[in-house]
Amino acid sequence: MQRIFSGIQPSGIPTLGNYLGAIRNWVALQRDHACIYCVVDLHAITVWQDPRQLATQTRELAASIIACGIDPQKHILFHQSAVRAHAQLAWIFNCVARLGWLNRMTQFKDKAGRDRENASAGLYVYPNLMAADILAYHATRVPVGDDQRQHLELANDIAQKFNHDYGVAFFPTIEPLILGPAARVMSLRDGTKKMSKSDASDQSRINLSDGPDLIAQKVRRAKTDPAPLPSEPAGLEGRPEARNLVGIYAALADSTPADVLSEHGGKGFGAFKEALAALLVESLAPIAAETRRLLADTATLDGILRDGARRAAAIADPIVAEAERLVGFVGP
């Protein structure tokens, strides 16, 4: 069975983008894969996180992932900082990856912005840690949203260079799984910008914790254009906001943009937004309720994460020990 690995940062409340681009696909993959899912707190601190909030956000995210349908008993759910192998392998990968490769990472350029000199060194080498997350488990399939594609290409470059430099066939090739009609959910305020936990405007995103009224209000206010919906996907060309809402609808309805448009084409956005808001509330309200229920018992939640970390370490530790032996370390 191929091993699946994926991660998500506890840097805020998970959004509809995280859900449709990643978590929902993680749930489906549980049926026929061995899955390891990780709340990546080491990644989160590449930008400043208030220590009092980081622990809360880590638990909230874990609860939300379980509420979405991840089974932490059959599969593995844990927080990254609890398994030392990630940081250990990341150091080796810091020495394998080339500066030229990291300089090409568009996400670093976006996140560092104009004040690049002031970005943390961690933000710069973040893709090396991400490669370590996956390769510490010899995972071969990685379900992510479209924005992580470049990082996974870099992970494959790192794996190949390690194998080449040490004359081994130790790390496998990773296959990105970028699935469904909502692999890139866009901001509700600007159809050319990714929906993000860190956008200054809460109106730009749907959070998995939003209640029905707030969801309906955000959808009603979502930016659109004046034309009615087209009846075929080709008519979405040059209409990023319309394309985004149709993609979200298709993903939630387990359908395709073509089917959504054959049903809703010709309608104005008023009617379509009502239908979309109803579908969102129906999908997300149970998740929010279950997240709240799980968060009422943090002792149980912490137990789940601890147990996941123990089982994760049992897989990663021997793999990373072997990587260290290949590098030439004497060992503890």
- Catalytic positions, please? 111, 194, 197
Ramachandran sector of residue 199 (left: φ over 0; alpha: ψ -120 to 50; beta: rest): beta
Interface residue with ligand TYM among 141, 184, 267, 311 (CB under 6 A) is: 184
Residue 117: HSE in the Cβ half-sphere, 13 Å Cα cutoff: 0
CA–CA–CA angle 305, 133, 175 (5° rounding): 120
Of residues 196 and 224, the one with the C-beta less far from ligand TYM: 196
Of residues 86 and 273, the one with the C-beta less far from ligand TYM: 86
Residues 6+ away with beta carbon under 8 Å from 205: 15, 16, 17, 187, 188, 195, 196, 197, 199, 218
- For the beta carbon of residue 49, count every other beta carbon within 10 angstroms: 18
Interface residue with ligand TYM among 41, 147, 210, 241 (CB under 6 A) is: 147
Interface residue with ligand TYM among 35, 39, 77, 134 (CB under 6 A) is: 134
Of residues 3 and 267, the one with the C-beta less far from ligand TYM: 3
Taking the C-alpha atoms of residue 148 and residue 283, their distance in angstroms, rounded to an integer, is 25
Q: How far is the CB of 118 from ligand TYM (least distance, A)?
A: 20
133 within 8 A of 42, measured Cβ to Cβ: no
Taking the C-alpha atoms of residue 318 and residue 313, their distance in angstroms, rounded to an integer, is 8
Q: Is residue 5 a contact point for ligand TYM (CB under 6 A)?
A: yes
Q: How far is the CB of 177 from ligand TYM (least distance, A)?
A: 10
Interface residue with ligand TYM among 65, 68, 188, 195 (CB under 6 A) is: 195
Residue nearest to ligand TYM (CB): 21
> What residue ranges bind ligand TYM (CB under 6 A)?
5-9, 17-18, 21-22, 40, 43, 130, 133-134, 142, 144-145, 147-148, 183-185, 194-195
